[in-house]
Amino acid sequence: MRQDEKAIFKFNSGHGALLCSKCRVIIKTGKDFTEEEIMAIKGKIDMPPQYCNKCKNKLCQEEDLTTTSTK
């Protein structure tokens, strides 16, 4: 499986961090994790890629561009 097809986690000094799958910026750290994210960081479940707000907006815009032409 390609790394950018699932959520990216990083560990530093015992604390996990969730990274944007596109630009690798830290989206949130361990204390803000949801139960799903805790499961994913432990490798118990696979999580889809997570993106920071900047990349999320960019992805939305790209989707808009491709979908508006069919409307």
| Contacting positions for Zn ion (CB under 5 A) | 20, 22-23, 52, 55
Please identify, using beta-carbon distances, which residue of 40 and 52 lies nearer to Zn ion. 52
Q: Residue 39 or 55: which CB sits closer to Zn ion?
A: 55
Residue 54: closest CA among 17, 16, 27, 14: 27
Contacts of 20 (CB under 8 A, 6+ apart): 8, 26, 27, 50, 51, 52, 55
Closest distance between Zn ion and the C-beta of residue 61, in Å? 14
Residue closer to Zn ion, measured from CB, 25 or 42: 25
